[in-house]
Amino acid sequence: MTADQTGPVARTPHGAVRGRYERGVAVFRGIPYAAPPFGPRRFRPPLPPEPWDGVRDAGAFGPTAPKPPYSEAFAPYLSDPVIPGDDCLNLNVWTPEPGPGARLPVLVWLHGGALTRGSSAVPVYDGSAFARDGVVCVSVNYRLGVEGYGLFPDAPPNPGLRDQLAALCWVHETIEAFGGDPGRITLCGQSAGAISAGALLAAPRTQGLVRRAVLQSGPPEVLDREKVRRMVRRMATRLRIPATAEAFAAVDRELLLRTQAEVGRLSSPVLGGPAFGIVVDGDLVPRDPLKELTEGAAARDVELLMGWTRDEYRLWLVPGGLLDRVDRLGAVALAGAMARCRAGHEIPRGYRALHPDAGTAEIVGQMVTDHLLRVPLHRLADARPGTSYLYEFAWPSRLPGLGACHALELGFVFDTGDVPESKRLAGEGAPQELCDAMHAAWVRFATTGDPGWAAWDATHPVRVFGDGVPHTAYGPRDAEVALWSAAPALPEPPRPSVPRAPGAELAAAMRRLRRSVGTTLRR
């Protein structure tokens, strides 16, 4: 592609790039921060890209990481562009003042998608509004699925997380050339991107690289290594190959993606099937990130902004009619949720007492939401020595059944509620004043470290973004969090499960629930 000779030029460690002026800000897209992760580099840690001569055009988004498409049930709600090409380890920069000297705050965005889908090219993540308001915005592509998070005996773990670290180091080294201040980097992510941001915050190699962080609907966590190995082994069995990086590297890429999608169809947060995820590796992730952030010395001076949506679970259960199916399953679904959360009977009894008019699906969804998101974030805010701010997004989608579901807040954070891809979740008529308020809070946090409400303390202040003017509530849903604090988690049932062993009956219910909804999730 021929570069537009009127566009802004910035210099990176590997060569100069020319962007575009769009709506009053400079935009650079598809800048490589690492070499293409294929051929001999497949399943390996990222390496620097080859330097280039002259000025490289940065007018279009670069290739996206290999990924399967969303199922028919979820595709109407979630945008996921596919851009072919091997050079998928790239990033984008939106800046109001390209060039050294501006020293503006920087927001680095890690997209969600369960570490198997998503990219920086999703239109909802357009960083123009951040740049318009004085924040340099950087969005990152990284390896996904088995390419980024497969666990093999002959390759290092967590290559996708290592990609993110390489991008963060690139930003720290280079962003001054784009008008940014390397001393004021806010690492921000949603869902799997938030989980990744939490792991990076806790990593020894990132200490000093990040000034602030935003965790949207994703706490710091790691998966059990055996759970990830099961995912790889199931793929290997279907492909009739050894469960090694060498064998997987020889498989046709499209076949690998189809196999991954089929094996991973039960990896929903509610169902808790085998999945790809970050694992403790003794290197980049030496221990559980949540423990490191609450018990160790990591990120003590990093300000955190963390939160959730009121009805996270509705994105997981409404598509494909799963909400109604869970209601019909009744006691089986409730027992399956108990197994998923390793919870005793006192937990659902407590939810029934707190929400006497709720159906089974709502009880199951809130249990899983609290277990996966709200409770860990509460505990992180309670235990860490640094400053934390919490929020809840409570505005309900205009689309039937979705409520304030997972990922709905993204168009408000980026002030992109008017793009068609945001309307897939929000519907028509999302209030611009709520976009303005939420986006302004993120801008203020990235700029000053204070989003505009009280920091977390014993009174548990939470900023609620819902219908009407945002307000600070004290202790919303504390009663549910208290249930989990008072009730110890059951141990994992043994493998193979033993009849009458603790948790075995719940695990059996979980298997029945997965079989019941499996047909819907395949669509």
Residues 369 and 373: their CA atoms lie apart, in Å, by 6
Residue 191 annotated as catalytic = yes
Q: Are 120 and 79 in contact (CB under 8 A)?
A: no
Residue 345 annotated as catalytic = no
Q: Are 142 and 121 in contact (CB under 8 A)?
A: no
Give the Å distances, CA to CA, from 203 to 139, 163, 283, 296.
Answer: 20, 14, 9, 11
Please work out, in degrees rounded to the nearest 5, the angle formed at the alpha carbon of residue 148 by the alpha carbons of 192 and 59.
80
Choose the catalytic residue: 97, 292, 312, 362: 312
Choose the catalytic residue: 120, 128, 191, 268: 191
DSSP state of 63: P
Choose the catalytic residue: 14, 172, 371, 406: 406
Residues 267 and 274: their CA atoms lie apart, in Å, by 6
Q: Provide the phi-psi class of 231: left if phi over 0, else alpha when psi is between -120 and 50, else beta.
A: alpha
Burial class (CB in 10 A: 0-12, 13-18, 19+), 365: buried
Q: Are 495 and 238 in contact (CB under 8 A)?
A: no
Q: Are 55 and 18 in contact (CB under 8 A)?
A: yes
Q: How many CB atoms lie within 10 A of CB 422?
A: 24
Give the Å distances, CA to CA, from 396 to 319, 368, 420, 468.
Answer: 16, 19, 18, 12
What single letter denotes the amino acid at residue 198? G
Directed axis angle between helix 360-369 and helix 322-329, to 10°?
Answer: 110
Q: Are 79 and 124 in contact (CB under 8 A)?
A: yes
Residue 406 annotated as catalytic = yes
Q: Are 462 and 441 in contact (CB under 8 A)?
A: no
What is the dihedral sign for C-alpha 421, 401, 274, 482? positive
**Residues catalogued as catalytic:** 191, 312, 406
